[in-house]
């Protein structure tokens, strides 16, 4: 199916563990983004990518790592999860010709 999909939808992990959130889009959009959504903070940009092998930090990048070896995939890794990283994570993609961002359904991550 065409679109942008995130996996898993829900994840519980322990403090200190590494966890990877997956994001896949089928449109070949150039830009991809990772946001976290927290009460009182709205959406905050973690990392974004302008193309394969090009990534840059957003507003809150500490504790996260991204890669983009293929245009369609943009995984987000928490190297050593902390409780403050408990959040809902959204992946999005965008094409310059359309201007809007398309969002995945989100991953609810709980760090215990």
By CB under 8 A, name the binding residues for another protein. Answer: 31, 33, 35, 40-43, 45, 48, 50, 90, 92, 94-106
Nearer to another protein, 19 or 23 (CB): 23
Nearer to another protein, 59 or 79 (CB): 59
What is the rounded CA–CA span in Å between residue 39 and residue 98?
Answer: 29
Q: How far is the CB of 16 from another protein (least distance, A)?
A: 29
Nearer to another protein, 52 or 95 (CB): 95
Q: Per DSSP, what are the bridge partners of residue 20? A: 77
Q: How far is the CB of 80 from another protein (least distance, A)?
A: 27
What is the rounded CA–CA span in Å between residue 13 and residue 68?
Answer: 24
Nearer to another protein, 53 or 98 (CB): 98
Q: Which two tokens stand for residue 31?
A: 């830009």
Q: Which two tokens stand for residue 91?
A: 């992946």
Reduce the secondary structure of 56-92 to three states and give it as a string.
EECCCCCCEEECCCCCCECCEEECCCCHHHCEEEEEE
Q: How far is the CB of 94 from another protein (least distance, A)?
A: 4
Q: How far is the CB of 42 from another protein (least distance, A)?
A: 4
């Amino acid at each position: 199916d065409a679109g942008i999909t995130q996996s898993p939808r829900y994840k519980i992990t322990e403090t200190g563990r590494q966890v990877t959130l997956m994001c896949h889009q089928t449109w070949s959009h150039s830009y991809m983004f990772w946001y976290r959504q927290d009460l009182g903070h709205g959406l905050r940009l973690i990392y974004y990518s302008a193309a394969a092998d090009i990534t840059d930090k957003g507003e809150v990048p500490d504790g996260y790592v991204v890669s983009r070896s293929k245009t369609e995939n943009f995984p987000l890794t928490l190297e050593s999860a902390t409780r403050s990283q408990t959040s809902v994570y959204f992946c999005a993609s965008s094409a310059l010709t359309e201007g809007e961002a398309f969002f995945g359904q989100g991953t609810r991550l709980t760090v215990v």
